[in-house]
Structure 1
Amino acid sequence: MLDRFWFCLCLWRLAGVFGDSDAVKMVMEGDSVSLESGVTEIQTYDLITWTFGHPETRIAQINKEAGIFSTYDGPNGRFRDRLKVNNQTGSLTITNTTTTDSGLYQIIISSRRKTTFKFNVTVSAHLPVPVFSRIFSSSSSSSSSCSLLCSVVNVSHVTLSWYKGNSLLSSISVSDLSISLSLPLEVEYQDKNSYSCVLNNPISNQTQHLDITQLCHTCSDSTEAVIRLVVTALVGVAAAAAVVVLVYDIRSRRDEQNF
């Protein structure tokens, strides 16, 4: 009876800690996530039920007295072979998570009283690497500047940002929908500062560093390159012509001597 009292007291304290707010769990796709039951040991007459979604679908059940420690496949079989329950604590582990595992999970513990804990789980897809492109426009604000774009596709719950060194220059965020994001940046052609574009969510990030010299070419640079190419070609032609003249001259002298 004393053990029973301490168990109920423990549940009461946990209910006070959790209150009405939901616990939040975030995990990367492919990783495992564990949802704690809040108890240290299941009692003989406890009935524990785990549910997912709204309306709730039963995904696990524990009845220690009957020796039942079962998991279920869930809606459309999405959890097949990926759920594990702890036989001592009743905690639930989801392995090899996918983005479709995101949602509301509940544990209902029924003994002398009924206690419910809730977990909001978000499974984030792996972030893509930002891609750079140059914006060409006839109405450029400055002939000495270069306009760039940092872009990502099919993302949600992320922030895309431009940094100059460690200083934030600009950012844009998206929450629910899976969309494409782009963020512009204008730099001087001769700018020697370090720039980077960062895509991040609360648990991971992808960073792409900018090479200004690779993306931004001035007209003078292009002209100089063309001139060098033409000069090189002309030098090559002149050298070839000189060789032809030299060979012709040698042959002519031989012919005169033989004559």
Structure 2
Amino acid sequence: MATTKDTSVNNGNPAETQDLGEQLQLLSPSDEAQPGNERNRCSEGGQNDPSGETSNTLGSSCCKNISVFSSSLVSTMVQKHPLAVTRVLVFLVLLILILIIALIIVALRHEQGCRPEHPHVPSAPCDPCPGNDWIFSLGKCYFFSEEEKDWNSSKAFCLSHNSSLAKIEKERPKEKAFLKHQIGKEAFWIGLTRRNDKSWEWEDGEDARLDVIGDGSSCACLNDPKDIEASSSKCSQKHRWICISEPLKNTKAILKKDGV
């Protein structure tokens, strides 16, 4: 009779029934205790507890578990495969060294800019001329055409490349030797025209001190490699031509510094 009385009392008290249910729930395994659901508890803990204490506790627990797992995994790898781990570490170190060296090389090239490979040879450092068909010599860029055009068309070609028909200075013996080697026996238009008073001038208006031989034609070409003399020719006649220009702006300072 006493047992029946106690049971009836418990059934009649809702608070005690609720406490008993909570105790049974704590003793029984739940989905939250499974390892796969630990992640969900970490991410949703803040929603269940507005104060944030539950979220912080679960987050700390997750971090500790991950850290312990990672350390254990690394330790196991080192013990079971020491040679493989060593190779991986060596590879990573070499990769880092290669990247550092590459960055240093790029930085040095950017700092130094364009420089000639052989400082004592007046070659074309870092392409100071308008194109690959141009020749860098004596601090200037020269273009010797392969095709033939009339004088005006030749002039237009040079202008389109930010240059002009060649202006030959008789007082420059090195330039004479260079031109002799380049032109051979061919005739090349130069930037020399006849004024109305029969005198000759360069495109920039300067008086020509170069000897010009021939009839009364208004344009001149270079065709005497021995003495570097010019011959008059009809402007409509087709010849090869010589363009001349200053080095590109971004290489002038370097060329001057290197004594070219």
Greater strand proportion: 1
Normalised to the residue count of structure 2, the TM-score between the two structures is: 0.20
TM-score under structure 1 normalisation?
Answer: 0.20
More helix by share: 2
The structure with the largest alpha-carbon Rg is 2
Give the number of the structure with larger relative contact order, counting CA–CA contacts within 8 Å between residues 6 or more apart.
2
